[in-house]
């Protein structure tokens, strides 16, 4: 056996050993990594908003021409899977309300007079934000963390939807390491096609220990030149009775304000 052959053999054995060690380590390390990722995502959720809260938001759709359309919403959330929103403005939308219970979503229009089922990918306001964005649940409620990477001062979390009924199959969340708040989120399809990007800006103290971005901008390669902005004016921790999150209650959401 020549010395070169012997060297190659030793090298191959070394690679095999390294591969074996990797194979043994990965299954042990991954759950811990996933657990860390889950905890990290949970912190991001809680830093964005309390589990149960009320908030006032404005959604602005901006067209390439600069024309804008604004919607003001009062939103209430309870637990992991109950969200309801009431349109306060403009006059053409006033009194409309939306309700989300897990994967179920309804829209109540006063003229139609009864809630109709809607889907997460539709948009009750038009523009880049869809119903899943407007009636956002906690990320931990809908996604598992597949992987976490460190990118300088930020974490990059790779999320995978728990079920097929979630609006986006994959999310990539860039979160600030110090504040544990998202700075950017990419929403992707199962085939990793980018649907939209959310940019979190203007971190503000809303009182009650809530310090979070007040502005979320979004754009989409599917809506070239269009932009939608969500501005948070008020948010505070508050609990509501379960009955407030029912179809029968939808015409009465105003009474919660």
Partner 1 sequence: MKRLLLIFLFFAFWMVPLLAVAEESYTFDPAETEKKPYHVGGYFEFKPILYGLNHDSAFYKVRFFNDPRGQNLLEANGRIQLEGSYEKNIFRIYAKTNTDLKSSYSGESERSTFYEFYGSVKPSSNLKFDVGKKTMKWGKGYAWNPVAFVDRPKDPDDPETGMEGYMLATADYIKSMDGPLKTFSFTPVLFPVYDHVNDTFGNNYKLNVAGRFYFLLYDTDIDLLFMTGGSRTDRYGVDFSRNISTSFEVHGELAYVRNFQKNVLDINGHPYPVEGDAVSYVIGIRHLTTFDLTTIIEYYHNGMGFSGDDMKNYYGYITRGYDTYQTTGNAIALGNAQQMAEGSYGRASAMENYLYVRFSQKEPFDILYFTPSITGMMNTDDQSWSLTPELLYTGITNWEFRLRTGIIAGARNSDFGEKQNDYRIELRVGYYF
Q: In the Cβ-directed half-sphere of 152, how many Cα atoms lie within 13 Å?
A: 1
Measured from the CB atom, the residue of 192 and 257 that comes closer to partner 1 is 257
| Residue 191 binding partner 1, by CB under 8 A | no
Q: What's the N-to-C CA distance of the chain in angstroms?
A: 86
Q: Which residue, 110, 101, 137, 133, is CA-closest to 120?
A: 133
x/- letters, 51..70, toward partner 1 (CB under 8 A): -----x-x-xx-x--xxxxx
List the beta strands (DSSP E) in the chain: 53-62, 68-78, 82-89, 97-101, 104-108, 115-118, 143-151, 154-161, 170-176, 182-188, 194-207, 210-220, 223-237
x/- letters, 104..123, toward partner 1 (CB under 8 A): x----xxxxxx-xx-xxxxx
Measured from the CB atom, the residue of 10 and 68 that comes closer to partner 1 is 68
The interface with partner 1 within residues 159-178 (CB under 8 A) comprises 164-165, 167
> Where along the sequence are the contacts to partner 1 (CB under 8 A)?
56, 58, 60-61, 63, 66-70, 72, 74, 88-92, 94, 101-104, 109-114, 116-117, 119-123, 126-127, 164-165, 167, 223-226, 229, 231, 233-234, 240-249, 252, 254-255, 257
């Amino acid at each position: 056996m020549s010395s070169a052959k012997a060297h190659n053999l030793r090298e191959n054995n070394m690679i095999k050993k390294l591969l074996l060690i990797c194979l043994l380590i990965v299954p042990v390390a991954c759950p811990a990594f996933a657990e860390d990722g889950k905890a990290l995502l949970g912190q991001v959720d809680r830093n964005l908003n309390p589990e149960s809260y009320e908030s006032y938001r404005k959604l602005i759709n901006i067209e390439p021409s600069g024309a804008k359309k604004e919607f003001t919403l009062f939103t209430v959330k309870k637990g992991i899977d109950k969200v309801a929103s009431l349109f306060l403005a403009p006059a053409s939308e006033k009194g409309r309300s939306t309700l989300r219970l897990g994967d179920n979503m309804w829209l109540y229009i006063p003229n139609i007079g009864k809630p109709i089922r809607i889907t997460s990918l539709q948009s009750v306001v038009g523009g880049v934000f869809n119903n899943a964005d407007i009636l956002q649940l906690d990320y931990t409620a809908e996604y598992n963390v597949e992987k976490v990477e460190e990118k300088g001062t930020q974490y990059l979390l790779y999320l995978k939807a728990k079920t097929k009924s979630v609006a986006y199959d994959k999310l990539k969340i860039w979160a600030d390491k110090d504040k544990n708040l998202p700075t950017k989120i990419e929403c992707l399809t199962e085939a990793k096609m980018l649907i939209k990007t959310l940019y979190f800006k203007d971190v503000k103290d809303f009182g009650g220990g809530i310090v979070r971005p007040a502005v979320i901008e979004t754009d989409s390669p599917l809506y070239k030149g269009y932009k939608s902005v969500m501005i948070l004016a008020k948010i505070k921790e508050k609990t509501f009775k379960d009955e407030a999150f029912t179809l029968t209650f939808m015409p009465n959401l105003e009474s919660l304000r």
